[in-house]
Structure 1
Amino acid sequence: MSDRIARQFAFLAEADRLKSVDRANVLLDLSRPENSAEHSWHVALQAMVFGASDWAIRMLLVHDLVEIDTGDQPIHLDHDADALARSELQAADRIFGLSPDRDALMDLWLEFEAGASPDAVMARRMDHSQPLFQVLLAPQPLADHVAIVRDNMTGGRAARLDAEWPEAMAWARAVLAGDVPPDSDLARRLRFLAEADALKSVFRANLLIDGSRRENSAEHSWHLALYALAFAGLAGPGVDPDRVIRMLLIHDLVEIDVGDVPLHSAAGQAHGSAEIQAAEAAAAARIFGLLPPDQGADLLSLWQEFEAAATPDAVFAKSLDRCQPVIQNLRSGGAGWVDYGVTFDDIEARVGRKITLGAPALWHWLRAEVQAFFA
């Protein structure tokens, strides 16, 4: 068991590098390029909102991991498709090979790449439409990005969406024509997804493992969902790992309004305060209220379940939420712990107890690593 956990953590630490792969798309506020980790989170969230299966969402969590080695391939630039396919297959074999679940992850990725199963068709539909929405939902989209969207819709990989998803293409054409699309469930879901983009600009206390910058809450949410996939076998009785993945995709959306409150900071003591709870509840009501009413109520209920941490799914999700920052700190030299003067006893009290509730084997392994770090 110990070796299996160590290998999963090695895989998840390598996955952290996806947060440093920049894409051609930019954030909706045009402040910087979107990276492939936060794209993976956003497209998985989009899939969740538009009714994709759990299996399709799993595909989207892993679909771009090969870009750690190959980089992003912008759709408007020429590339050698055969050479790229070979490079991506080699990257998949290396990266998934770090995990004890190498074969299952490889099969999931290959199914997405083939695009033949109904789940893969849906996953690729989400992946190929998200860049269109990313441009067209911006308040002031870049002219050259709009031109790329037009070309993609008429002769690129998005052209097939006329047959697969005509409502979305009609919405996109209305926006390109300068019209205001009529209000609809699709329009409300897109407004929610546009608002969710702001989570990419909420920064946390943790650094990326390479120490280059602070992690943001969107890529953290993707990484946590990947943790849930990797450690599904450690979930206790009554836990549905796919439901946990959905819970983790939305768990930090309230930080768009409230911001991140570092656990080990002086402000971290306010985590459970009535003031913070009220602010987060108000943020959840506003953000999930952008969706069609029934769906908004369902996601609000899922978020509330996570916060209450009383069900098996929520307890496991909370355990992973405490676990991931420990690895970030261990692998980045403990920069976040140094900044806040954290001790081993602090981690055992604030982190270890939470992890033990939902995933005792993880804390058993991590505790030894944390002890060694502080020694």
Structure 2
Amino acid sequence: MTDPTLVQQLDFLDEIDKLKSVVRSSYIVDGSRFENSAEHSWHLALYALILTPYAGRDVDIARAIQMLLLHDIVEIDVGDHPIDLPTDWQEVARQEKQAAKRILGLLPEAQQVSLASIWQEFERSETATAQFAKALDYCQPIIQTLHNARDIPDHVEIVKENLTKGRATCLPARLPEAYHFAASKLGWEHEVIDADFLERLAFLVEVDKLKTVTRATKLCDGSRRETSGEHSWHIALYAWLLAEHAHRPVDVFRVLQMLLIHDLVEIDVGDTPIHGSFDAKAIALKEARAADRIFGLLPQEQGETLRALWDEFEAAESDDAIYAKAVDRVQPLSSNLATGGFSWVEYKVTPEQLETRVGVKVAKGAPALWALLRQRIDAWYDKNAALFATDEA
């Protein structure tokens, strides 16, 4: 019997795929395009993890990460609003409340209440956790602008206005290291910036490149292939919301950390389509070298901690890693079901190959989830058998 709770959760996760199509007004660091709200949300969650030592004792980092993964989903209905344009912010707030009610309303009731509480806490910005999360939300576009490869003087002027008169005036109190860095880059100050903060910032700027890594999977609307940055955001939401279906109890916060960082090695190595042809040992060696370089950008203790977490994910032996690996396989399945089996057709994937390459891992980490998806996958293959017929002429 199909679990209606699981169906609701998967419907919600399909719906929020639309956040990948919401374009913001900030450029990604290489200046090639504007970022979207999904990859922005992933990047912010990673900001919270990396800048944990600067959060303050009253900040709940796990909840801050959840806030930042969730905070922009209302933009699916309302869109992004650049801070430099005349805007009726009260009307935007009203529309966002309606959007939150609709989108979160797709979930089972208990999760509706829980996620609404987190989203509302972020919006009110009254707790230390929400204020830290808000500070990161204001800080990240500033850092991207001041580190941008593109010459964007108009965006620099917006940064100056934001720091002196806008939302970012909170940074000296809430995240002074970020303010002093920005002020130094703008020539307003000449203070020596904390070396530990600069190392963490260099890492966060470097990993912006994950937004340029293209995957085989398409967005659910079929409009383009997704990036590894937005994929990392999406599977973090998958892991959070589907944790009750894990094979064994897991530490959701540890799983979220794994999934925020699991694809960073693709910055150096690129994405390796699971249904493609590749030398697994050679790829593993390249990814290990990439992990050495990328995590080596961080202060030693944090770099070693995250590298160990990445290794744990790759080994897929702990309960947390087994579940994280399962979730990493699930999101592309949902995308393929939504896009007419796009990558299955492209790579001529048989049901038997899908079972071996994907199903085994999903069933191991989330058996009920695989049981439901297998029903949907079997129905799709039955309906589309002609696409895989062998030409014997």
1:4-53 Cα offsets, whole Å, 9 max, x none, are 11111110001100000000001111111100000000000001101161
Q: CA deviation at 1:180?
A: 9.8
Q: 3-state DSSP class of the match of 1:206? A: strand
Match of 1:190 among 190, 201, 205: 201
Partner of 1:247: 258
Q: TM-score, normalised by structure 1?
A: 0.96
Match of 2:179 among 150, 160, 169: 169
Aligned equivalents of 1:343, 1:237: Cα separation in 2: 30
1:212-250 Cα offsets, whole Å, 9 max, x none, are 000100000000000011112123434101110111000
Correspondence 1:225-236 to 2 at 5 A: 225-236=236-247
Q: CA deviation at 1:102?
A: 1.4
Aligned equivalents of 1:217, 1:282: Cα separation in 2: 19
Aligned equivalents of 1:97, 1:108: Cα separation in 2: 14
Partner of 1:4: 5
Partner of 2:85: 77
Residues 235 and 241 in structure 1, CA contact (< 8 A), matched pair in contact too: no
What is the identity percentage for the equivalent residue pairs of Structure 1 and Structure 2? 51
Aligned equivalents of 1:147, 1:5: Cα separation in 2: 47
Aligned equivalents of 1:191, 1:254: Cα separation in 2: 16
Aligned equivalents of 1:124, 1:316: Cα separation in 2: 30
User: Which residue type is aligned with residue 83 of structure 1?
Assistant: E
Counterparts in 2 of 1:341 and 1:103: CA distance versus 1, 3 Å:
same
Partner of 1:333: 340
Aligned equivalents of 1:332, 1:237: Cα separation in 2: 31
Partner of 2:58: none
Aligned pairs, how many? Answer: 371
User: Which residue type is aligned with residue 255 of structure 1?
Assistant: E
User: Which residue type is aligned with residue 36 of structure 2?
Assistant: N
1:302-346 Cα offsets, whole Å, 9 max, x none, are 101100101110000000001110001001111111100011111
Q: CA deviation at 1:139?
A: 3.6
Aligned equivalents of 2:173, 2:113: Cα separation in 1: 34
Aligned equivalents of 1:95, 1:73: Cα separation in 2: 19
Partner of 1:355: 362
Q: CA deviation at 1:211?
A: 0.5
Residues 175 and 181 in structure 1, CA contact (< 8 A), matched pair in contact too: no
Aligned equivalents of 2:107, 2:294: Cα separation in 1: 36
- 2:213 is equivalent to residue 202 of structure 1: yes
Q: CA deviation at 1:183?
A: 6.2
1:350-369 Cα offsets, whole Å, 9 max, x none, are 11110011100100100000
Counterparts in 2 of 1:250 and 1:220: CA distance versus 1, 3 Å:
same
Structure 1 range deviating more: 78-87 or 315-324: 78-87
Structure 1 range deviating more: 328-337 or 229-238: 229-238
- 2:367 is equivalent to residue 369 of structure 1: no
Aligned equivalents of 2:19, 2:68: Cα separation in 1: 13
Partner of 1:39: 40
Q: 3-state DSSP class of the match of 1:239? A: coil
Aligned equivalents of 2:217, 2:377: Cα separation in 1: 16
User: Which residue type is aligned with residue 5 of structure 1?
Assistant: L
Partner of 1:86: 94
* Structure 2, gaps ≥5 residues long: 56-60, 383-393
Counterparts in 2 of 1:321 and 1:99: CA distance versus 1, 3 Å:
same
Aligned equivalents of 2:341, 2:364: Cα separation in 1: 24
Partner of 1:125: 135
Q: CA deviation at 1:172?
A: 0.6
Q: CA deviation at 1:140?
A: 4.2
RMSD: 1.4
Aligned equivalents of 1:285, 1:181: Cα separation in 2: 28
Q: CA deviation at 1:265?
A: 1.2
User: Which residue type is aligned with residue 227 of structure 2?
Assistant: N
User: Which residue type is aligned with residue 49 of structure 1?
Assistant: I
User: Which residue type is aligned with residue 126 of structure 1?
Assistant: L
Match of 1:311 among 318, 325, 337: 318
Match of 1:95 among 103, 109, 112: 103
- 2:270 is equivalent to residue 262 of structure 1: no
User: Which residue type is aligned with residue 196 of structure 1?
Assistant: V
Match of 1:61 among 40, 45, 69: 69
Q: TM-score, normalised by structure 2?
A: 0.92
Partner of 1:214: 225
User: Which residue type is aligned with residue 104 of structure 1?
Assistant: S
Structure with larger Rg: 2
Aligned equivalents of 2:88, 2:283: Cα separation in 1: 52
Residues 31 and 149 in structure 2, CA contact (< 8 A), matched pair in contact too: no
Aligned equivalents of 1:14, 1:294: Cα separation in 2: 38
Structure 1 range deviating more: 1-10 or 91-100: 1-10
1:259-301 Cα offsets, whole Å, 9 max, x none, are 001001123xx3xx32111100000010011111111111111
Residues 40 and 64 in structure 1, CA contact (< 8 A), matched pair in contact too: yes
Match of 2:118 among 108, 116, 126: 108
User: Which residue type is aligned with residue 44 of structure 1?
Assistant: A
Partner of 2:305: 298
User: Which residue type is aligned with residue 343 of structure 1?
Assistant: T
Aligned equivalents of 2:120, 2:183: Cα separation in 1: 32
Counterparts in 2 of 1:161 and 1:180: CA distance versus 1, 3 Å:
closer
Match of 2:163 among 139, 142, 153: 153
